[in-house]
Amino acid sequence: MPELSLTDHHHQDMWQARAKAVLPAGGFGNFDPGFFARGGKGSRVWDENGDEFIDYLISSGPMILGHGHPEVIEAVQEQISTGMTFFANNSKGVVLAEMMVEAVACAEQIRYVSTGGEADMYAMRLARAHTGRPKILKFEGGYHGMSAEALMSLAPARLENFPNPVPDSAGIPSSVEDGVIVGPYNDIEFARAIISEYSGQIAGIIVEPLQRIIPPVPGFLEALREEASNHGIVLIFDEVVTGFRMGYGGAQERYGVVPDLTTLGKIIGGGFPLAAIAGSAELMAHFDKSIVGEDGFTMQVGTLSGNPVASVAGIKTLEVLKREGAYETIIGHGKRLMTAASASLDKHGVPHRIVGDPVLFDVVFTDRDVRNYRDVKSANTAQAAVFNRTMRDCGILKPAGKMYPHLALTEADLQQTEHALERAAKAVADQS
């Protein structure tokens, strides 16, 4: 067997062959397994062929400052020289927690984990611990990690009648279905009716305030807040994506609706694995056996939770985002690209909707408004595939269903992206 190297830069086909030998489906389960990132700097990434791309994937959201931000690098290098992880309290984790408590409206205390999926799992568990009730209400198409509960009706191929959940993975016991009820996002009347019907059984409502890229209709989040308060239910905002992206105070600041618990991730780790559950002291007390006793105690342990390297990267990232003009810049980039995409598609007569927020959006190829998962699912996927493939050919790296504008984009990047959007719109029109 030849000696294996971490440093030799083979072409992507070589790496793909090696990956297929040791990784199921030849990948990590995340992005396109045929794409191998060699490096990134600022707004750009390079693959193992040496091809250069403007990055709108940004590691699925964390790299909001761009790659290799010098202040983040300096903070991380300084910390690494004094210790990488301790499985013990450290001052850097306390400072970052203080920053999150100051920024996030619902946060009086936080508890660290390593991934957003863990944070969501624990938030649902906290809701059950606090209320003594068994069920969680989630919304079809909402992404809350990879726990058994979260994988109910995340991306169901079979559209079941509400409120019945559909498991999205093998290996989930049928008993899990009994603990989850599912509703359509943005349907206020359905939400009120289902909460009333199951009110004595619902422990928590978990929702992405911006579900993937779909904004809440006016009054939807407010209705969830009102119903949760009226029925003694814990309202959980999954802000792993929207936290510190839609503004320094996240989606709850933008929309003016304060949940009981929030989950945070991505940006708060500055490119390193870190996530958190944030909420009122009363709810977070379930992590403290001395306050709630044996019966109310919610156990949580994580080897890398609150590690100082991720904490200092997060501290510096939040410091940069808090500076004057940072969010205005990101939002301005997003508005410009949303406008450019729509103008190009209109010019070529392609039915579409630009769905999302300036900080996170994409094109959905449909002639009707997009309010929920089923509206997205019924869109033209063949046109989307042509659009995304053409964008990649033009040097734009983006996930299949979203674009993340960020602080590192330059005027040249935006102009190249506008050119790519025009090319992609024409390609869709030519194929139609």
Residues identified as active-site? 143, 238, 266
Distances (CA, A) of 255 to 136, 191, 215, 235, 246: 23, 18, 10, 15, 10
Return the beta strands (E) in 44-166 as ranges. Answer: 44-47, 52-55, 109-113, 135-139
H helix runs in 23-90, sequence order: 70-80
Phi/psi of residue 404, each to 5°? -105, 100
DSSP 399-427: -TT-B---TT--HHHHHHHHHHHHHHHHH
Q: Give the three-state DSSP class for 36.
A: coil
Phi/psi of residue 203, each to 5°? -85, -45
Q: Give the Cα separation of 273 and 115 in Å (integer).
A: 6
Return the beta strands (E) in 76-188 as ranges. Answer: 109-113, 135-139, 180-183
- Burial (0-12, 13-18, 19+ Cβ within 10 Å), 73: middle
User: Is residue 366 within 8 Å of residue 375, measured between CB atoms?
Assistant: yes
Q: Give the Cα separation of 167 and 61 in Å (integer).
A: 26
H helix runs in 168-325, sequence order: 188-197, 220-231, 250-255, 281-284, 289-296, 308-322
User: CA quadruple 69, 72, 77, 78: dihedral positive or negative?
Assistant: positive
Residue in 215, 252, 258, 255 with CA at minimum distance from that of residue 235: 258
Distances (CA, A) of 12 to 9, 25, 31, 35, 401: 9, 15, 15, 7, 24
H helix runs in 302-399, sequence order: 308-322, 326-347, 373-377, 381-393
User: Is residue 155 within 8 Å of residue 176, measured between CB atoms?
Assistant: no
- Burial (0-12, 13-18, 19+ Cβ within 10 Å), 180: buried
